[in-house]
Amino acid sequence: MRLSTKGRYAVMAMADLAGNAAGPQLGESRPVALADIAARQDISLSYLEQLFAKLRRGGLVTSVRGPGGGYRLSRPSGELRIADIILAVDEPISTTRCKTGGSKGCTKTGARCVTHDLWEELGQQIHVFLSSVSLADVVERRVLGRAKPCNDSGFADAVADVVAAE
């Protein structure tokens, strides 16, 4: 799987923005300067400016000009999905060598490799997961434990039978 720096940094910056935008009154948000996010997250200011231009075009943030200006979330952090942030900065998560949606495969002959469907499904599962996680979930540290391990007793029984036979 490839999740680029652009996607990771966009999520980091948005989480920082969500966590630092609270105003003195409940529900109020103040603009946060990109220079402050850059310093806290150790991300280049010019790189953040490029990312936030895309996030603004994607409707995820609004800008406030002038003294005390910066950026605000366009809606509550509970309504912003991590998948939307990554897609807003033009970063589809690629799990195959093939071009997503293309008919040509990744082998020299143009056919799809035998594991193509596995990796494509993994990509879909990642998208489903990132679509289920809100920015508020990240900021409030409610992400761990969301993915449940497979508890297939049939598989466990089969493994036990193999081990017992040895």
pLDDT by residue (tens digit) across 55-100? 999 999 999 998 888 999 999 999 999 999 999 997 677 777 666 5
pLDDT at 166: 47
The mean pLDDT value of the chain amounts to 83
Output DSSP code: residue 65: -
pLDDT by residue (tens digit) across 110-139? 777 788 888 888 888 888 999 999 999 999
pLDDT at 133: 95
Instruction: Tell me the domain boundaries of the chain.
Output: 5-93+134-165
Domain range 5-93+134-165, CATH architecture: Orthogonal Bundle (1.10)
Tokens representing 28 are 């109020």
Q: What is the mean pLDDT of residues 149-161?
A: 57
Query: Whole-angstrom Cα distance, residue 60 to residue 79?
Result: 10
